[in-house]
Amino acid sequence: MNQGTDATAEKLCCRDVWKIFGKLPGGALGQLRNAPQRQHEIQTLPGCTVAVREADFSVREGELFVIMGLSGSGKSTLMRCLNGLIRPTWGEVFVDGRSLQAISAKQLRRLRQEKMAMVFQHFALLPHRTILDNVALGLELQGVSKKRRRAKALEALELVGLQGWERNHPVELSGGMQQRVGLARALAVDPQILLMDEPFSALDPLIRRQMQDEFLKLAAKVKKTIVFITHDLDEAIRLADRIAMMKDGRIVQMGTPEQIVLEPENDYVEEFVASVSRAKVITARHVMADPRPWTSRREEDPLAVLDRMKKEDLQCVFITDTDRRLLGVLTREEAARKIRGGSAPAGCNGVPAIGPDAPLSEVVEQAASSIHPTPVLDGRGRILGVVTRKRLLQEWKQDLEG
Amino acid sequence: MNGIMEVLTTKIPLGEGVAWLVDTLTTRFSAQFRFVSDMLEGGIQALTWCLSALHPLVFIALCTALAWFIRKSKGVALACALGFLLLLNLGLWESMVQTLALIIAATLLSLTLGIPMGILNAHSRTAYFVTRPLLDLMQTIPAFVYLIPALMFFGLGEVPGVFATVVFAMPPVIRLTCLGIQQVPTERLEAGRAFGANWWQMLLKIEIPSAMPSILMGVNQTIMMALSMVVIAALIGAEGLGASVMRALAVVDVGMGFESGLGIVVLAMLLDRIVRPEKTPDGSS
């Protein structure tokens, strides 16, 4: 989604972050840190749990970064390192280039108040407060005046579609609504970074899906840097700009959803994504064929075009201008008729086409409704490729086998 | 073998130690004890005076209104009015007021000491470790054992009664406050911290409100325990319903003993129904 934003600033950054729970005799960890074979030795530390190993990544401004892993993979611990709720054993976390390890407790609290907000799996609302006061919690902790925090909290409630509920208590709301309150509470402080710890995992599948859709819309609107934790690969693929896959505390692969699904780098990821339908990440771009055999310039001799169609067994060609912009489609019969009539093949308008990022479901829908192959056009109407039924079926077969 | 038994049965001077401690405290700190005693005495008398200054009917009306205000239940309000009318009818009004003043004083003292202690215990493992056996001691040691030293410290009257009541009634509020705070869900604590709360904000905005049902249960228990001490407090000169019971027992007047005893029960039931943790919105009482 945001592939073009490589140049923007790094908002959050982890440098060689480790978190080891448990006690070791004094100084043992310090010695290990510099040991050349620490990877190996740490595997066998007695009485310790290594929750996060060597986490090294950065999140760009405005990015939706998903940390994905099963329970116990260390993703929650890693997230809590990002806002200092958990102090890493080694390594540093930078927020806007400032190391969390180098600032005072007071500065850290300030940073949490102003820059980052968190959304929790089980909502973590305060049952004794009204919805409005729950949403205003962050502002209250900042010391914002009652009038202003009321106004801002109402604004945040409206953003998540819960206006009119501000006087109720959390227990009166459904799970989905409670999580919206959690989201509103995070948005009310207008943070630059949102940390979301499995926010939709506790919801029913149907509600979850709906929340994901709404969340995507909201995320596009509020433009925050978002770190999102999930154990659900489908959710990760739907939401993420980039995914970091975690296993046993280690990030085993990091990349766009397409990269994760189509180019798994190791057995674990491969096994994990095997169950995912490739259709979820495949777009028209992945299945389109080279358009050259299928196109013909407007100026081309109709006889030559018809000849080529017969030779290559094409039912139709797409007529383009000199800039490869699609003008129309010309079937074999039309071409023959036009030659008999003596006019040049002009092609007809209104050819159904799709964009290169259209998901496979859309491509299939389009292909099913048209007898012609489906042209893939870029933003300026130039033909990038052609999706034939044969290609679609091949893709489907691969998916079934995959 | 005999040698070992001899060593083992050579008595540790525990009792002597305690006696010495009590002796030393009474002689060396008599002025301080007198001061505390006078303060408490003054407080209780003022409270008793305030309560008895109200006409019984005004008092009953106020209590009924309070019951209605807190519980929002017609039943409780009605029971409150009827209960107090019964006490008035039985001629136990004055004793009831004295007992109530004693209970209010003991409860307030228990709460001001007990709630902070509970909070401390929830946050500090050391404090918890030290306090727990102390609480067991306070709750289980027979009251008479500390009534005598209390008499020596404070003299006869209401004050040693309040002291004994506080010793007995404070543990539940400490325990339940501690429990309530320890049971605040981790995520809720994390939410507070993630939004940048400092220690005080965590305590006042997250922990105490979340622990409130449990703390209120502690308050309720403290009041109940305090009531159960009134008869014993009467042994050392505290006035009130307990004293009525004692007097009835002294002359073997079964009827009057029953009436006074019933008075205590009625007062206990009324206080329990009025000061009882409500069902909380999140369902965890």
Residue A354 and residue A308 share a domain? yes
Are A37 and A5 a contacting pair, CB within 8 Å? no
pLDDT of residue B238: 83
Mark out chain A residues that contact chain B at CB-CB < 8 A.
80, 83, 85, 109-114, 116-118, 120-124, 126-129, 137-138, 140-142, 169-172, 185, 189, 195
- In chain B, which among 156-185 make CB contacts under 8 A with chain A? 185
Give the total number of structural domains in chain A. 2
- CA distance linking residue B52 with residue B218, whole number of Å: 28
Does residue A337 lie in a domain region? yes
Chain B residue with minimum CA distance to A168: B281
Average pLDDT over residues A261-288: 82
Residue A308 and residue A203 share a domain? no
Q: Both tokens of residue B128?
A: 């918890």
* pLDDT (tens digit per residue) in A54-71: 899 999 999 999 999 988
Q: What are phi and psi of A160, to 5 degrees?
A: -95, 5
Confidence of residue B240 (pLDDT cuts 50, 70, 90): confident
* ipTM of model: 0.76
Secondary structure of chain A in HEC code, one letter for each residue: CCHHHCCCCEEEEEEEEEEEECCCCCCHHHHHHHCCCHHHHHHCCCCCEEEEEEEEEEEECCCEEEEECCCCCCHHHHHHHHCCCCCCCEEEEEECCEEHHHCCHHHHHHHHHHCEEEECCCCCCCCCCCHHHHHCHHHHHHCCCHHHHHHHHHHHHHHCCCCCCCCCCHHHCCHHHHHHHHHHHHHHCCCCEEEEECCCCCCCHHHHHHHHHHHHHHHHHHCCEEEEEECCHHHHHHHCCEEEEEECCEEEEEECHHHHHHCCCCHHHHHHHHCCCHHHCCEHHHHCECCHHHEEECCCCHHHHHHHHHHHCCCEEEEECCCCEEEEEEEHHHHHHHHHHCCCCCCECCCCCECCCCEHHHHHHHHHCCCCCEEEECCCCEEEEEECHHHHHHHHHHHHHC
Residue A301 and residue A395 share a domain? yes
Residue A374 and residue A315 share a domain? yes
Chain B residue with minimum CA distance to A127: B282
Q: Both tokens of residue B278?
A: 């409500």
B188/A124 CB distance under 8 A: yes
Does residue A157 lie in a domain region? no
Residue A338 and residue A397 share a domain? yes
Does residue B122 lie in a domain region? yes
A127/B210 CB distance under 8 A: yes
Parallel, antiparallel, or unpaired for β A116-119 and A193-197? parallel
State the smallest CA–CA distance between residue A245 and chain B in angstroms. 24
Residue A264 and residue A304 share a domain? no
Chain B residue with minimum CA distance to A84: B194
For residues A327-340, b (16+ Cβ closer than 10 Å) or e, as one string?
Answer: bbbbbbebbeebbe
Does residue B73 lie in a domain region? no
CB-based contact, B206 to chain A, within 8 Å = yes
* pLDDT (tens digit per residue) in A295-316: 888 888 878 888 888 888 888 8
A124/B185 CB distance under 8 A: yes
* pLDDT (tens digit per residue) in A149-159: 999 999 999 98
Are B183 and B214 a contacting pair, CB within 8 Å? yes
SS3 at position B96 = helix
Average pLDDT over residues A98-120: 91
Judged against a pLDDT cut of 60, whether residue B280 lies above it is answered with no
Does residue A386 lie in a domain region? yes
Residue A392 and residue A361 share a domain? yes
Residues in chain A closer than 8 A to B285 (CB atoms): none
Average pLDDT over residues A153-169: 91
Give the total number of structural domains in chain B. 1
Residue A237 and residue A331 share a domain? no
Q: Which CATH number do you get for residue A348?
A: 3.10.580.10
Parallel, antiparallel, or unpaired for β A326-331 and A316-320? antiparallel
Q: Which residues 6+ apart lie within 8 Å of A374 measured at CB? A: A284, A352, A353, A354, A363, A366, A367, A386, A387
A296: domain range? 285-401
pLDDT of residue A147: 93
Average pLDDT over residues B139-153: 85
Residues in chain A closer than 8 A to B212 (CB atoms): 128
Burial of B94 (0-12, 13-18, 19+ CB in 10 A): middle
Confidence of residue B171 (pLDDT cuts 50, 70, 90): very high
Does residue B166 lie in a domain region? yes
pLDDT of residue A44: 65
Out of B192, B201, B280, whose CB is closest to A127? B280
CA distance to A18, A71, A80, A99, per residue, from A87 (Å):
9, 20, 8, 12
Residues in chain B closer than 8 A to A126 (CB atoms): 188, 191, 205-206, 209-210
pLDDT of residue A171: 92
Residue A323 and residue A258 share a domain? no
pLDDT of residue A28: 66
Name the residue among A244, A296, A286 with its Cα closest to residue A399. Answer: A286
Does residue A377 lie in a domain region? yes
Amino acid at A95: V
Does residue A345 lie in a domain region? yes
Residue A360 and residue A221 share a domain? no
Average pLDDT over residues A162-173: 91
Does residue B117 lie in a domain region? yes
Does residue B263 lie in a domain region? yes
Does residue A28 lie in a domain region? no
Does residue A371 lie in a domain region? yes
State the smallest CA–CA distance between residue B126 and chain A in angstroms. 19
B258: domain range? 17-53+90-274
User: Half-sphere exposure of A219 toward its Cβ, with a 13 Å CA cutoff?
Assistant: 25
Residue A203 and residue A70 share a domain? yes
Q: Which CATH number do you get for residue B222?
A: 1.10.3720.10
